[in-house]
Structure 1
Amino acid sequence: MNSRPSHGHLLIISHTPHYRRDGEIVGWGATVREIDYLATLFERVVHIAPLHADAAPASALPYQSSQVRLRPVAPGGGARLRDKLSIPLRYPGYARAILQERRAADVIHVRSPANISLLALMILAMLRGPQVRWAKYAGDWNRTGPEPWSYRFQRWWLAHGLHRGLVTVNGRWPNQASHIRSFLNPCLTEAELKEGADASRSKRLGKPVQLLFVGRLESAKGADVCVETVVHLKEAGVAARLDLIGEGEERRVLECKAIDLGVAESAKFHGGLPRERLGQFYARAHFILLPSESEGWPKVLSEAMAYGAVPMASAVSSIPQYLNAFSAGHAINSRDPHLFGSAIETYVGAPALWKEHSMNALKAAKQFSYDNYLRAVRKLLNLPLSLECDVADSAEPEFQGDA
């Protein structure tokens, strides 16, 4: 990780969950890794985010950078009605933390959508400083289906630039305003890219076909569709093995489903695992499955692609744009397991096509490196480039047909 001299103070406001584990603070692993890299660009980073009393998941990580300080706030929101009604009670504490910490900030970075980010965006509309403001919308920027009203409102607010700053989104959309920038979600170190490239060289599409799901074990993420896809392949005479990594309230239901459908031996549930243990699964996988109802651009696709796994995902948000640009995998316009199974069968009948898409995925994954991300953030925020930066690199996706 680069630790060159940095520029000013960064204030981050997000709903990233944090926990206490063995006397130290840990947070959602993917976000903690990203912030550790962001910290190399700044003298100090303050992160306002909720601190939960629950046990930390296996994927949670401590910050490695000494320049990062967590300003904890109380969690708010949830699935139950009483949890939703408690949100306004949290706002005074959120506002106090934001107003106190913003005084020393040179750059404010708000990660949306979330309840605390909604308040932060509204506060920014009333403040004169700091002038450098960057909002990241991590969800589906072009969502048309059901969703929380606050998500739709935050997109409207950001689209109209009422926070008076930049917005980064997944994908590229019609009539995209100049303050809205297409941006890639970073998730890969140079060491992980090398490890993935080494693993992919010897990978061939054989039997059984290795399928992988990484995420929350719930129907919204499509874990049930993955199990049913194994059933379809079995009925089609294609031997397949599915590894499911993650936790969720529906895990027991899904395990029973696999038993009832007769694929318990082919669908293995591993629970939540830390990032350093995922490499072996990515290296083994022929396909990464994500039949999700809603996404922005899921980092698990990028991580698996770095190991030559071919993505098979729902055609939501930016996923069809990216997979078409990368010529890798399929974005499927349904969460029907028969369609996912049929797409996999196509590759089984054409292993050379699978290998081509596997290599395309491997090549595309390089765009999701942290090094590429830091160069793009410097350009986005107009920070001075370090000597080793290649100004031609960018964290904007390389869409086919772009000028």
Structure 2
Amino acid sequence: MKIAVITHTLHSRQQHKLYAYAPYVREMNYWFSGFEEVRVVAPVIPKAKNNLPLEYKKSGIQLEEVPAFSLLSFSNILRTFFLLPFIFYKVFRAMQWGDHVHLRCPGNMGLIGCLVQVFFPKKPKTVKYAGNWDPEAQQPFTYKLQKKILSNTFLSRNIRVLVYGEWPGQSKNILPFFTASFSEAEKPVVEKEFNKPFKFLFVGSLVAGKRPKLAIQLIEKLITKKVLVKLEIYGDGVLRKELEEYVVSKNLEPFVIFFGNKKLETVKEAYKKAHFLILASKSEGWPKAVAEAMFFGCIPIVTSVSCVPWMLGAPSVSKEETNIVTLAERGIIIGSKFKVQGSRFKVQSSGFEGAKLLDQLVQDVEALTIDAERKKEMSKAAQQWSQQYTLERFEKGIREILGKQPQNPNQTANTKRPTENQQPLTGKRLPRSFVARNDTTHNPQPTSENRHPITRNPKQLRVLQLIDSLRPGGAERLTVDLANGLAGKVGFSAVCASRIEGGFKKDLKKEVGYIFLNKKSSVDMGAIFRLKKYIKTNKIELLHAHGTSVFMGCIQKILNPKLKLIWHDHYGNRIDNENFTAFLLKICSLFFDGIICVNKELLSWSKEQLFSKKLRYIPNFVSAKYHCKRSNLNVNQKITIVQLANLKTPKNHLVSLKAFKIIVGRTPDCQLVLVGKGYNDVYSEEIKRYIQRENLQDKVFLKGQQTELKSYLKDAHIGILSSDSEGLPISLLEYGLAGLPVVCTNVGDCEKVVGEFGKLVPKNDPKALAAAILSYLDNPEMMKTDAEKFQQQVIDNYSEEVVLSKFLDFYNEISLNA
């Protein structure tokens, strides 16, 4: 069985382990115990912000990363507008995958889960609503919306919603539940002794919503009344510095101590020694700190929010109470104005009345410290009530909710089929005892441990390469060579040029399918549906999108969720550019089934910045048609230096030209051939002006866009690159297969490709580039030896035969990934 969890809880990966907020993880460990496979859809942060994260007990949890989002500012709303479709898609796919769906509410992710679950009326679902379920509570609109959706039995079917407390007038799928922190074995066996000084605790985040300052002010007032008290504060938050300054300004350092975040074991020892707990929260669901403190006999002083009046045993009266402080059976309720009818209650107000409330609270607490008998009765009542809700009962309740029998903890958690006595999840109200039903053990379902590896015949694959144009360029060349190489090895290989056709179109083999979309704008509906029809007609199952064509790929993925989408990143300068395109890629990566990167730097960038889990480094390769057998590289004839690179800024041709100017000063009988498309832009004009200004017109030749490169390579002596950034330049591989020695800048994967068989120089350094070229011209034997070794290096590691198998392996892995 598989469970899909939708949660807003921040997760982090540390040393290949998955961590999240400790109380959440402790609870989820119980939910996961009866499932073989777990998939969690949640926002992820690089490192846990919480000081006390906890690792999940269950191994092999699949984490579907989504970006965190909010609606608290205009910029956040704008960002969320772009994010929502992708998050909805991730949640939808997770719900499709799971046999059971579990939502964590309230929260932004919970809201999306509430909306998406409507489309799965037959799938068993549970919701843990950890907030205040009070129908009359003042809450954000999104919280109220979640409650309305979950309470609607038409929209929310086959679902059980677990809420804190029992509320009147609820639909049949709303079930009262609880949470727990301690086991039966941890119950204290002795009554609490109330010796002076009276110890107060505050346990929680130091944020405005928890009102920690009221706890300090209470201690301050009690001290002025000569009551011996002490306050220990466990927790951290944005208000800590302000609170510490307040304590110093009031000379309260001996009486108020800040401990920060501590593990539960440390806080448990504090509960054992404390007498009171104060928590004046504006809103709560099940205030865990209150229940924990009561477990060890602490008397709680808490605001009347959510199920607090029920927890503290508020007086059973039918009329409205107007006291601002009420002594209940098991504690003190602050801001009390509520109705209580039997076990049901209705909080009507938990507002504060400033100094009047604080004075009343101080008066009642002071009176309680004097009344020894009342203190002991209240402490004992609190302890007895809280100790009903142990981890054992909590686990039994969860298993009852899921329709599962507790298993031997030493036994592997195998999936069990329902028996005659074990009812499926239907949304019926459970008995309050949460008694687990019996079931019988059946054979386990297949797991990752007992399944045999699955492989697939590549001939069954149907692959479409998607790229913006087929004009000469590195990514375009790779696309065409890849499609040609796959022809005959897969069931169907095709290419789609979305915006512009080009010279490489004629290089496509006749058995390779082809479609041109003639896309005119960013969102061209005609082009989108032409491609959708082509994919459907040709039964394409794997769309391999190169570069910026991935945006069209994502649209196709949305239209056809079963389509597998791979993005191929060729852009070497991406890691230095945190621009809007990078932001859009992060969003689009929610749709990626896999990512291919042409070098290790891009792979690292994708792992850190994008959400896809399947990433693979696959180098570029070069077609065998560029292979040349050279008997010699005659440096006694006119020397030809060739550079294959379109006239674009990252290629930095000016460095090549400046280096060539130095070379001409020493070796006049040479020429520089620049092969690549010019764009009639400022960059191209700057290159032309430099050539004219330095009188190099008869030595530097701009050949423009060319599709047949072999003749240029065959006539050359040295191949160069002067780029500021690269991925893995195909022109470098073309030089190597053509038998040319190479000199290039040390960027991208150039060092890995060239190794010891070429010259590497720093980027943007014309003198270094010129010196490296001249060193070859001065040493023809070294030039010949390096050229031969580099050619063999390319054949051994970057030939079509070697690299194509890596693509097929990755395709196979992606196509089999459910």
Q: TM-score, normalised by structure 1?
A: 0.87
CA distance in 1, matches of 2:100, 2:42: 17
Hey, what does 2:282 align to over in structure 1?
Answer: 293
Hey, what does 2:369 align to over in structure 1?
Answer: 348
Compare CA radii of gyration and give the structure with the larger one: 2
1:167 to 2:161 alignment: yes
Q: What does the per-residue CA deviation read over 1:202-221, in whole Å, with 9 as the maximum and x for residues that have no partner?
A: 63112111111111102210
Hey, what does 2:38 align to over in structure 1?
Answer: 45
Q: CA deviation at 1:85?
A: 4.0
CA distance in 2, matches of 1:259, 1:323: 34
Partner of residue 140 from structure 1, selected from 132, 141, 145: 132
**In angstroms, what is the RMSD of aligned CA positions?**
2.5
Q: What does the per-residue CA deviation read over 1:74-127, in whole Å, with 9 as the maximum and x for residues that have no partner?
A: 222275543344333332332232222223322111111111111111111122
CA distance in 2, matches of 1:229, 1:33: 33
Q: 1:177 to 1:146 in 2, by over 3 A?
A: closer
Q: 1:95 to 1:264 in 2, by over 3 A?
A: same
More displaced 10-residue stretch of structure 1: 286-295 or 16-25: 16-25
CA distance in 2, matches of 1:338, 1:53: 46
CA distance in 1, matches of 2:373, 2:391: 31
Partner of residue 27 from structure 1, selected from 20, 25, 37: 20
Partner of residue 61 from structure 1, selected from 50, 54, 61: 54
1:112 to 2:105 alignment: yes
Given that 1:16 and 1:49 are in contact with CA atoms closer than 8 Å, whether structure 2 keeps it comes out as: yes
Q: What does the per-residue CA deviation read over 1:162-220, in whole Å, with 9 as the maximum and x for residues that have no partner?
A: 222221111111212211111112322344x23xx15xx26311211111111110221
1:156 to 2:148 alignment: yes
Given that 1:15 and 1:114 are in contact with CA atoms closer than 8 Å, whether structure 2 keeps it comes out as: yes
Hey, what does 1:365 align to over in structure 2?
Answer: 386
Q: Match of 1:327, as an amino acid?
A: E
Hey, what does 1:100 align to over in structure 2?
Answer: 93
Secondary structure at the counterpart of residue 368 of structure 1 = coil
CA distance in 1, matches of 2:81, 2:387: 42
Secondary structure at the counterpart of residue 37 of structure 1 = helix
Corresponding pairs, count: 381
CA distance in 2, matches of 1:241, 1:23: 43
CA distance in 2, matches of 1:356, 1:395: 29
Given that 2:191 and 2:380 are in contact with CA atoms closer than 8 Å, whether structure 1 keeps it comes out as: no
Secondary structure at the counterpart of residue 206 of structure 1 = coil
Structure 1 segments, 4+ long, off by >6 Å, are none
Q: Match of 1:147, as an amino acid?
A: Q
Q: Which runs of 5+ in 1 are unaligned?
A: 1-7, 397-403
Hey, what does 1:394 align to over in structure 2?
Answer: 433
Hey, what does 1:306 align to over in structure 2?
Answer: 295
Q: 1:297 to 1:129 in 2, by over 3 A?
A: same
Q: What does the per-residue CA deviation read over 1:126-169, in whole Å, with 9 as the maximum and x for residues that have no partner?
A: 22442x11112211111545432111111111122322222111
More displaced 10-residue stretch of structure 1: 341-350 or 300-309: 341-350
Hey, what does 1:267 align to over in structure 2?
Answer: 256
Given that 1:48 and 1:72 are in contact with CA atoms closer than 8 Å, whether structure 2 keeps it comes out as: yes
Query: Greater relative contact order: 1 or 2 (C-alpha under 8 angstroms, separation 6 or more)?
Result: 1
Hey, what does 2:332 align to over in structure 1?
Answer: 330
CA distance in 1, matches of 2:257, 2:152: 46
Residues 373-388 of structure 1 aligned to structure 2 (within 5 Å):
373-384=394-405
More displaced 10-residue stretch of structure 1: 256-265 or 151-160: 256-265
CA distance in 2, matches of 1:90, 1:346: 55
CA distance in 1, matches of 2:6, 2:146: 14
CA distance in 2, matches of 1:22, 1:211: 39
Q: Which runs of 5+ in 2 are unaligned?
A: 315-327, 336-350, 410-429, 436-818
1:317 to 2:310 alignment: no
Q: What does the per-residue CA deviation read over 1:217-254, in whole Å, with 9 as the maximum and x for residues that have no partner?
A: 02210101101110111122211111111111111111
Q: Match of 1:109, as an amino acid?
A: H
Q: What does the per-residue CA deviation read over 1:241-272, in whole Å, with 9 as the maximum and x for residues that have no partner?
A: 11111111111111111222332321111111
Q: Match of 2:172, as an amino acid?
A: S
CA distance in 2, matches of 1:156, 1:261: 47
CA distance in 2, matches of 1:127, 1:393: 28
Q: CA deviation at 1:276?
A: 2.5
Q: 1:350 to 1:118 in 2, by over 3 A?
A: same
Q: What does the per-residue CA deviation read over 1:287-325, in whole Å, with 9 as the maximum and x for residues that have no partner?
A: 111101111111111111222111110011110012107
Q: CA deviation at 1:385?
A: 6.0
CA distance in 2, matches of 1:78, 1:33: 29
Q: CA deviation at 1:65?
A: 2.2
More displaced 10-residue stretch of structure 1: 84-93 or 296-305: 84-93
Q: 1:142 to 1:261 in 2, by over 3 A?
A: same
CA distance in 2, matches of 1:394, 1:231: 44
Q: What does the per-residue CA deviation read over 1:10-57, in whole Å, with 9 as the maximum and x for residues that have no partner?
A: 221111122344553310110100011222222233222211235432
Q: 1:272 to 1:207 in 2, by over 3 A?
A: same
**Identity between Structure 1 and Structure 2 (%):** 27
Given that 1:368 and 1:395 are in contact with CA atoms closer than 8 Å, whether structure 2 keeps it comes out as: no
